[in-house]
Structure 1
Amino acid sequence: MLIFFSLFFRLDPPILNLEKDGFFMDTYTLLDQDYVKIYGKNKDVFIAIQPHNIMGSIYSTVSPTSHDGKNSNRDKKFNGTVKHYVGDRFYVSNSDIFLNYTYRGGSVVNVFSLPRGLCDPEYSIFTTMQREAHISIDETFQEDRKICWFLNFKTPVEFEAIFHDGPKDSKLMIGDQKHLLTNHWYDIPPTKSILNGGLNRSNLIVLDAKKGHISLNISVTSGVPFADWTDRPSFFAKRNELLSYKKAIEGINIKCGDITSNEPFNKDLKMYITTVRNVKIWIWAILCGIIASIFGFTVVIFFVKPIRKIHRSLSHSDDLAKASRKTKTE
């Protein structure tokens, strides 16, 4: 018993208490009492809570930022706390944000802290844990548009991007945290392409589309044989609007966790992205083989062997009876 409790406490991870500044793309697993502070001066901070069941509660608290990058201003009181649910995707601009988790279980949170204006928060799309993601556009834009796709995978990925056609001032940028920090992106102008590019797990695609016809195709592929079926691409919602929506649906007795909280937002905008989440055929073959083996083992142990034992017992009884009759005859 003592060994068990020693092992339990030894495996219990230390509390995660982080303060983050600057630009980054990162993923955190928050457990009981864990928190992350993100300082958002001159930044757009995008947050996605991965769509899995959690036993506890995750909260965000924001305050308008006024710090000048020095620690003396980082102890400012936070206010305006919101309880979030799995699948929530939201952003804050030029605000410090505090994320914390309480109770059992845990939650995986993706955070993208970007230079303000790099993406249009109203036209930013997130998806996670897919095998592949494909972006395809062949459309004439009636006005300038900036579209961002935030992608998160289980492993590093490879990509191909072909910018078939577009106004000469249009620009396609692709990168991960390394490119974000150095500001040296995969920069693809119209009529150009990149094949066999590589990215880390969390990455960002930015299309700065000018008025006119845009035609492009992007494929991002990971090496995993299966994906998370519970996720689907969706827009980020402004945190304050998300809060108002939560209050509205709670007023009509609908639990926020029963629906995708971002569904009412950006309905008139196209996402231009599809994801591949089906399991590769060889995984199904292995699973079928395992199930067949278990079934065969069960049949042999619980049916075939007992039947053979009964048959041998009956045969032995017949042999004894025959031997007994033969002895009496003699």
Structure 2
Amino acid sequence: MAAEVDNSGNVTRLISQIVDLSGSRQFQAAELLLNQLVRKSNDAIYVVDAEFGHILNCNELAYKRLGYSKEELLRLSVPDINPLFRNSMTWRDHVKSMRMHEKKLIESTHIRKDGSEFPIEASVNTVEHNGDTYFVAIARDISERKAKELRLLEAQNLDPLTDLPNRRLLESKLHDLLCECCTRSEKVAFMYLDIDNFKHINDTYGHVVGDKVLVALANKLKDFTRQSDIVSRLGGDEFLVVLPGLNSRAHVLSLADHILQVTSHPFNIDDSLSLEVKLSLGATLCESRALDVSKAVISADKAMYLSKKAGGGQSAFIECDDA
């Protein structure tokens, strides 16, 4: 408000000006809300120099999630926290791709200050400002999602009782194992195991005890075998053990006898029950190149029935070509 006076200094009129500040206030309020949203976001937000990948700014969650102070994190570059971009060529390819597409969704990992890693999914956008190019990345921790995916995968591929590979995972593992054996010109042994009189155990002690026997046998087989071997539960009381690198019948039978010896010790089901369990074991030895896996399993299965027919608690061997 202003006053208009005459030559004598007397106020002749008051002049007022009204300015509508509502639009400005709304803009300031919106900007404040946006800043609060960035600060309180459940996702880490980074502003990155597009040319070299230097981290120029970030929200609070970004540096706290990684275990840094903000000052420490702003001294780092993207390759320091994301191993995907440690190769300079990978970063240059990323920059080229971002310039073409402006937006990208990346699944990778972030590295904390202590060296531990966790999976992330980042939505990356290209922003131009005053002639310079920046990347704005919104990174979400997807550890929980990955854990759920892993549990689902395990449910699909592992026997729920023994945690051994089921038939589905067995096929995948066999494919990889046979490729390695072919490269080294190794043979592969197949052993088919069946618990003698398992129905009697179930009928006498109940299915809960029967399940405990299966779990105990699975654990004994896992403890006995090497990391390169495959142990799988085929169903019921039948198990398959695949052992690469055994190049003679004598070696196969020696290991078969060892398995029978290891599993002959009483199975301690609980404090009040200990059971003696016998196995029938059939074995075969096959060339890995052009191997028909089904034929190999059938050979081991036939050998197992020979040992069972002979009274059980022993092993039998059939040449792979004799099935």
Instruction: From the CA coordinates, give the structure whose radius of gyration is larger.
Output: 2
Q: Which has the higher helix share?
A: 2
TM-score of the two chains, using structure 2 as the length reference: 0.21
Higher strand share: 1
Higher RCO (C-alpha 8 Å, min separation 6) = 1
TM-score, normalised relative to structure 1: 0.20
